[in-house]
Chain A
Amino acid sequence: MMWYFLMSDAFTFGALLISYGTIRFMSTSWPDPNEVFRSFPLMGHAHMPLVFVSLMTFILIMSSVTMVLAVHAGHHRNQKDVAKWLIWTIIGGIAFLSCQAWEWTHLFHEGAWWGRNPFSNVNGTVASTNFTNFFFTITGFHGLHVTSGVVLNIVILANVLKGTYEQRGHYEMIEKVGLYWHFVDLVWVFVFTCFYLL
């Protein structure tokens, strides 16, 4: 069932990203991501494009790995390892959300928000608010997915610690939540490419 839910979710994200692509293709010019996403926490005005978002990507991939390891431990019915890897996954998810919170706050202080775009186009003309609208909507929607993923992880961690799955005789629930978590990672791969690289 999780697969079918994820498929519908994939179409939702796909629709958002494709509409973003359509608008970007129909604009004569667009802000340069390397100029917009150039900051790193505590580094002041240093010009560091892509560094921060690479760190975020790394955190999310890492948390995906710890999730697979939790699923793997579940196959071996190793309660302690499942709990350990789930805790690492939750930490990774929270770290990613914190990074995103910092980035949003930073952009907000630069004057970017829904309906407001302080960044100019590559060719120097004034940009429309399409750029910020899509950026905040899509990364926000993804962030919401990460948040619910973290909540789900905390719920199953509580169940693991209580021994619910041990009594049930299998750790299938970890696999299902794991699928959702990997999907969130998968979406980020596309968001990363569409907003930061292209």
Chain B
Amino acid sequence: MEHTHTVEGHEHQEHEGSTKTIWKTFWILLCVTVVEVALAFLHLETGFPSRLVLNAIFVGLTVVKAFFIVAEFMHLRHEIKNLILTILIPLMLFVWFIIAFLADGDSWKNMRKDLAPGAPRQELPAVHTEEGHH
């Protein structure tokens, strides 16, 4: 009982100051988006962050934005632990989905390249002759 009371008290305190948190979250989301767009333009103008690095940054920043939306706007951070786990554990499946499916797509691409008419027969002997020279 005592425990639940302290939790409720804590929640009330947070409601008082929460308009501030809301706007803070908004500025974070806005800044992250602006940074993303700025990086995209930087890449278009100078080609500086290479495509791979850029994509990694974009994916990372997307996860950051997703975290803030779910934790603050959807209030999940302030829910009880069981609800948080109920939501997050099934979503872990996505980690596997993404790895598995993207790897699958990539292997398809390689097969299409390697098995394209003409392509492999020229490539494979070429490797062999190179090794033969050494």
Which residue on A lies nearest to B21, using beta carbons? A68
Partner of B22, one of A7, A22, A69: A69
**Which of B1-9, B93-101, B125-133 is found at the contact surface with chain A?**
B93-101
Interface string of A164-198 (1 = CB under 8 A from B): 00000000000100010011011001101100011
A71 to chain B, nearest CB (A): 8
User: Within 8 Å CB of B72, what residues of A?
Assistant: 68
Which residue on B lies nearest to A18, using beta carbons? B101
Please classify the interface of chain B as helix (H, G, I), strand (E, B), loop, or mixed, using the class held by over half of its residues. Answer: helix
Q: Find out whether the CB atom of A22 lies under 8 angstroms from the CB atom of B33.
A: no
Residues facing B in A100-129 (CB within 8 A) are: none
User: Within 8 Å CB of B101, what residues of A?
Assistant: 18-19, 21-22
Size of interface on A: residues with Cβ below 8 Å to B: 42
Interface string of B82-123 (1 = CB under 8 A from A): 010011001100100110011011101100110000000000
User: Within 8 Å CB of B41, what residues of A?
Assistant: 50
Measured in the bound complex, the distance between the Cα atoms of B109 and A29 in whole Å is 10
Which residue on B lies nearest to A57, using beta carbons? B33
Q: Find out whether the CB atom of B74 lies under 8 angstroms from the CB atom of A179.
A: yes
Measured in the bound complex, the distance between the Cα atoms of B6 and A2 in whole Å is 26
Given A65-B22, A69-B22, verify A197-B58 contact (CB < 8 Å).
yes
Residues facing A in B2-51 (CB within 8 A) are: 15, 18-19, 22-23, 25-26, 29-30, 33, 36-37, 40-41, 44
Does A141 touch B at the CB level, under 8 Å?
no
Residues facing B in A24-81 (CB within 8 A) are: 24-28, 34, 49-50, 54, 57-58, 61-62, 64-65, 67-69, 72, 75-76
Residues of B within 8 A of A (CB): 15, 18-19, 22-23, 25-26, 29-30, 33, 36-37, 40-41, 44, 55, 58-59, 62, 65-66, 69-70, 72-75, 83, 86-87, 90-91, 94, 97-98, 101-102, 104-106, 108-109, 112-113
- 8 A-B pairs within 8 Å (CB atoms) are namely A18-B98, A49-B44, A54-B33, A61-B33, A69-B19, A185-B69, A197-B55, A198-B59
